[in-house]
Amino acid sequence: MHKYLLFGTYTAEGFKGLLAEGGPRRVEAVRIAVESVGGSLESFYFSLGENDFYVIVNLPDNVSATAFSLAGNASAYFNIKTISLLTPEELDNALRIKVNYRYPGR
């Protein structure tokens, strides 16, 4: 499983739905959607500020993450951004890979 951070903002229509249903029902809807693509919901937080929510999910792969993100962004209720998260071990593995790259002007 791969871990992803999803964050975003509600539209006016999304806020109307949130006001009508409340937070726990929104979290449950996200959990069901994540499970439908073979994943699991790790955490869901509503927030104040630039973004309205932050969600961490575990999904099988980038294709599943893309499908999940596209389904959300296709709605008129919210906009999602998705970030793939790495464990410290995955970062260490990436650091061991030598890349043959010439920087501009070098």
- Domain covering 2-96 assigned CATH 3.30.70.920 in the classification: yes
Q: Give residues with Cβ within 8 angstroms of 59, minimum separation 6.
A: 1, 2, 4, 34, 37, 38, 39, 65, 68
- For the chain, domain boundaries: 2-96
Q: For the residues 24-53, what does the mean pLDDT come to?
A: 97
Q: How far apart are CA 68 and CA 56, in angstroms?
A: 13
Asked whether residue 20 carries a pLDDT value surpassing 90, the answer given is: yes
Q: Which of these, 10, 11, 59, 64, lies nearest to 39 by C-alpha position?
A: 59
Q: Which of these, 54, 59, 29, lies nearest to 44 by C-alpha position?
A: 54
Residue 73: predicted pLDDT = 93
pLDDT, tens digit, 9 for 90 and up, residues 39-79: 999 999 999 999 999 999 999 999 999 999 999 999 989 99
